[in-house]
Amino acid sequence: MPLRVLFLNWRDERHPESGGAERYLTAVTEGLAARGHEVTVLTSGYPGAFPKESLNGVRYVRRGGRYSIYPRALVSQALGAHPADVVVDVQNGMPYLSPLVRRVPVINLVHHVHREQWPVVFGPRVSRFGWWLESSLAPAVYRRAMYVAVSDSTRRDLIDVGVDPARITIIHNGTEVPPQIETHRSDRPLVAVVGRLVPQKQIEIVLQSVADIAVDLPDVRLVVVGSGYWEGRLREQVRQLGIEARTTFTGYVSEAEKHRILAESWVHALPSLKEGWGLVVTEAGVHGTPTVAFASAGGTSDSIVDGHTGVLVRGGQAEFTAALRDLLINNDRRDLLSSQAEEWAGRFSWARSISQWDDLLCRTVGN
């Protein structure tokens, strides 16, 4: 049954600050469009973006900026714009609150709950208000809506803020077939960090780790892939640590270049404060590159099998450094985790995730 489906997300994948959540959005919306659904994404604009365009079967409507997209989306829906049979709100901390103005079913997609992130990004007052929106107002507004979580850890966090477990469906990220690239594992120890350069990604931890590990492994190198407003701070720390010669900042790169870097790297480091899943974990795993991440980040405990496809660190800076050093030095262990990470990544399929979304949308509208 072809449906008119409206997705609301603060960014699309072409936004300069897009990340794993936007990759998920693209994969799901294009997959649903390929199945015959009429899919529209209402999102924010950015310099050089078209206000409206269609890409791979998906219609994009861009309005407002990072924060103004929320009230603009609510008002435009209240005025009858963007007709749909079902609406999917993507809650990245801030809720869209579509059930307040929509008579059609609304599904709330949550990658992760932002409890720990609010105070890292904002001051005390804004943090308290943001957490109230996410933990109190949103569960009340969406109390009759279905939820999609991308991992079991996100499901548990949603239950903790009062969401009915019976209303939550888990639909994982998939793993894409990587582009054909001609490359091989680096001859020298290489650590990769991939993601937006923002405070909550805690990339400073990896910088300190590499500086410490260089004492034992003088050939160790680090490549930081991504862009963001925190880059200046990170470059200054690199200078202070004296690791300029062994650290490369690539900025934004193409998908092919990202996969080339992951394939060349010995270890992928993910020091984030919070992840809903950590899509780059399985992207690295496709190339047999194991990941070191914090267990406390949430979704990493779902995307990484500790001691089997990577290492989940319980602790802080010292423990993260120790785990990273061990994988770089211990070739046999790294080779074992490499083969297991590749096998694990192959278990996740966008085709399966899209099929689950299709079923959920049809059931939701049917009910």
Residue 177 has pLDDT above 80, yes or no: no
- Confidence band, pLDDT 50/70/90 cuts, at residue 180: confident
Q: 198 and 333: one domain? A: yes
CATH of the domain at 33: 3.40.50.2000
Domain-embedded: residue 220? yes
| Interval 183-189 mean pLDDT | 94
Rounded mean pLDDT of the chain?
A: 95
| Interval 75-104 mean pLDDT | 95
- Give me the amino acid identity at 141: V
Structure tokens at 308: 């089997």
| d(C-alpha 361, C-alpha 29), whole Å | 12
| d(C-alpha 322, C-alpha 326), whole Å | 6
Element (H, E) at 124: helix 124-132
| d(C-alpha 9, C-alpha 87), whole Å | 11
Q: 124 and 226: one domain? A: no
| d(C-alpha 111, C-alpha 277), whole Å | 7
Q: 14 and 29: one domain? A: yes
Residue 279 to residues 1, 175, 345, 346: CA-CA distances in angstroms?
A: 30, 8, 10, 13
Q: 22 and 49: one domain? A: yes
Tens-place pLDDT, residues 192-230: 999 999 999 999 999 999 999 999 999 999 999 999 999
Q: Which range of residues forms the domain containing residue 214?
A: 190-345
Residue 19 has pLDDT above 90, yes or no: no
Q: 322 and 359: one domain? A: no
CB 114 within 8 A of CB 130: yes
Torsion angle, alpha carbons of 302, 149, 45, 84, to 10: 150
Tens-place pLDDT, residues 93-128: 999 999 999 999 999 999 989 888 888 888 889 999
Q: How confident is the model at residue 90, as a pLDDT?
A: 97
Structure tokens at 366: 């049917």
| d(C-alpha 232, C-alpha 42), whole Å | 31
Place of tokens 């992207």: 283
Q: How confident is the model at residue 120, as a pLDDT?
A: 81
| d(C-alpha 301, C-alpha 172), whole Å | 13
| d(C-alpha 261, C-alpha 255), whole Å | 10
Q: 14 and 163: one domain? A: yes
Q: 61 and 108: one domain? A: yes
- Give me the amino acid identity at 2: P
Q: Phi, psi at residue 276, to the nearest 5°? A: -75, -35
Domain-embedded: residue 353? yes
Number of structural domains found in the chain: 2
Q: 340 and 362: one domain? A: no
Q: 255 and 111: one domain? A: no
Beta bridge partners of 61: 42, 52
| Interval 26-39 mean pLDDT | 98
Q: How confident is the model at residue 122, as a pLDDT?
A: 86
Domain-embedded: residue 183? no
| d(C-alpha 257, C-alpha 262), whole Å | 9
Tens-place pLDDT, residues 240-263: 999 999 999 999 899 899 999 999
Nearest to 262 by CA among 194, 205, 321: 194
| d(C-alpha 321, C-alpha 304), whole Å | 18
CB 170 within 8 A of CB 149: yes
| d(C-alpha 151, C-alpha 272), whole Å | 16
CB 153 within 8 A of CB 301: yes
CB 61 within 8 A of CB 9: no
Whole-model pTM: value is: 0.86
Q: How confident is the model at residue 94, as a pLDDT?
A: 92
Q: 55 and 130: one domain? A: yes
Domain-embedded: residue 185? no
Q: How confident is the model at residue 151, as a pLDDT?
A: 93
- Confidence band, pLDDT 50/70/90 cuts, at residue 182: confident
